[in-house]
Amino acid sequence: MASNPPQPQGPALTAHILNTMSGIPAAGVQVALFKLNESPTPSQQFIATTETNANGRVTSWNVDLSTVESGIYTFRFETGAYFDSLGVTSFYPYVEMAVRINKGQHYHIPLLLAPYGYTTYRGS
């Protein structure tokens, strides 16, 4: 009987960005992940980077996230560069959000994006 390979124990972190101005997925958006270190002085540690695919989705990162521990993390979506590439003026140079992550959980972050506003929530 064949056994299944062990699965990583770190969080699964995915996202989906939709351009609500045009009604299409936001492909090619650079995304970075940082860990917030609160003591002794608040700082952010770079963890990983990725780019949304043709469907506007983040499905993989440039590093294995299985070692990511529980804590507060920041996602930074480079939305200004995305709109610049479309020749569209936008208000936000980037969208940054802090989230609480627990090891072993799956986190999906939808981002509904327009040049002058955005909405996000924890998806499933």
Q: Each residue's pLDDT tens digit in the chain (124 positions)?
A: 555 544 444 558 999 999 999 999 999 999 999 999 987 888 999 999 999 999 999 998 998 887 788 999 999 999 999 999 999 999 999 999 999 999 888 899 999 999 999 999 999 8
Helix (H) or strand (E) holding 81: helix 79-85
106 annotated binding-site participant: no
16 annotated binding-site participant: yes
Residue ranges and CATH numbers for the domains of the chain are 23-116 (2.60.40.180)
Tokens of 77: 């979506």
Tokens of 49: 């980077």
108 annotated binding-site participant: no
Per the CB < 8 A criterion, the answer to whether 73 and 34 are in contact is yes
How many degrees, rounded to 5, is the angle at CA 18 between CA 35 and CA 48? 25
